[in-house]
């Protein structure tokens, strides 16, 4: 199968941020005296957009202004917690640079909002920058729906079947399958068994491990 584009999820895939998102949701719920079972909540929401996560936590529908304000509050907590410990998933920047050097298009498809995207990209300093970024605050349904990944492919003029998605969460792996895309499982927060699927080409702890398998050398890169 030819490959013309790579689509990266962001949290847990580009940066090692998921423990800090979990802590941020815990702190957000504590401030509002809302009971939360963090492992269960994270398993039900990782990859979903802000409105969907808030609906799961609060158990009610919210108007858009409320969604925006509450999402911003939670994401502010997350950035405050993560900033002193900011770290990429090992080898990410080097791998992303090698992807671009081979002529593959690069996009990001994330449930994160614009503020967290700007925060991560400013800290990472990706060079070159992604050709397109699709966010969870753009009105698209979150994962496991395929919409975010399909929109990322559309924006970079890539056929879904010619895209490989990099994901760390079960909902993201499923979203790639529904989009008709292949996937690579980054096992930073979930096991290879939890991220398995017939469309999953590899399951690795990080990009350093992936590069040691000569992954890019083995895929059929088509840039025409």
Tens digit of each residue's pLDDT (9 = 90 or more) over 5-31: 999 999 999 999 999 999 999 999 999
**CB burial of residue 203 (10 Å; 0-12, 13-18, 19+):** buried
Helix (H) or strand (E) holding 183: strand 182-186
CA distances from 204 to 8, 24, 48, 73, 90 (A): 15, 26, 23, 33, 11
Contact 166, 184 (CB under 8 A): yes
Its sign, for the CA torsion 114, 130, 157, 160, is negative
Tens digit of each residue's pLDDT (9 = 90 or more) over 138-178: 999 999 999 999 999 999 999 999 999 999 999 999 999 99
- Nearest CA to 174 among 206, 139, 148, 137? 148
- How many other C-beta atoms are found inside a 10 Å radius of the C-beta of residue 115? 16
**Entry pTM:** 0.95
| Residue matched to tokens 């292949």 | 182
CA distances from 22 to 35, 51, 75, 99 (A): 14, 16, 11, 30
Least confident range from 68-72, 178-182, 203-207: namely 68-72
Tens digit of each residue's pLDDT (9 = 90 or more) over 87-116: 999 999 999 999 999 999 999 999 999 999
Helices vs. strands in the chain: H and E counts, helices first:
10, 8
pLDDT band for position 179 (cuts 50, 70, 90): very high
- Nearest CA to 183 among 11, 13, 21? 13
């Amino acid at each position: 199968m030819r490959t013309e584009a790579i689509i990266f999820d962001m949290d847990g895939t580009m940066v090692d941020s998921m423990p800090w998102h979990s802590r941020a949701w815990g702190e957000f719920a504590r401030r509002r005296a809302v009971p939360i079972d963090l492992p269960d909540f994270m398993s039900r929401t990782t990859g979903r957009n802000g409105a969907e996560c808030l609906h799961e936590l609060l158990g009610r529908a919210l108007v858009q202004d409320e969604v925006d304000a509450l999402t911003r509050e939670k994401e502010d907590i997350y950035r405050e917690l993560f900033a002193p410990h900011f770290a990429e998933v090992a080898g990410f920047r080097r791998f992303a640079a090698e992807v671009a050097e081979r002529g593959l298009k690069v996009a990001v498809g994330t449930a994160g909002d614009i503020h967290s995207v700007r925060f991560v990209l400013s800290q990472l300093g990706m060079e070159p920058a992604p050709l397109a970024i699709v966010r969870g605050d753009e009105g698209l349904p979150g994962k496991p729906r395929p919409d975010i990944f399909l929109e990322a492919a559309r924006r970079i003029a890539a056929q879904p079947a010619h895209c490989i998605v990099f994901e760390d969460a079960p909902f993201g792996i499923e979203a790639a399958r529904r989009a008709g895309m292949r996937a690579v499982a980054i096992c930073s927060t979930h096991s290879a068994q939890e991220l398995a699927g017939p469309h999953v080409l590899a399951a690795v702890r990080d990009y350093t491990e992936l590069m040691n398998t000569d992954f890019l050398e083995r895929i059929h890169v088509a840039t025409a």
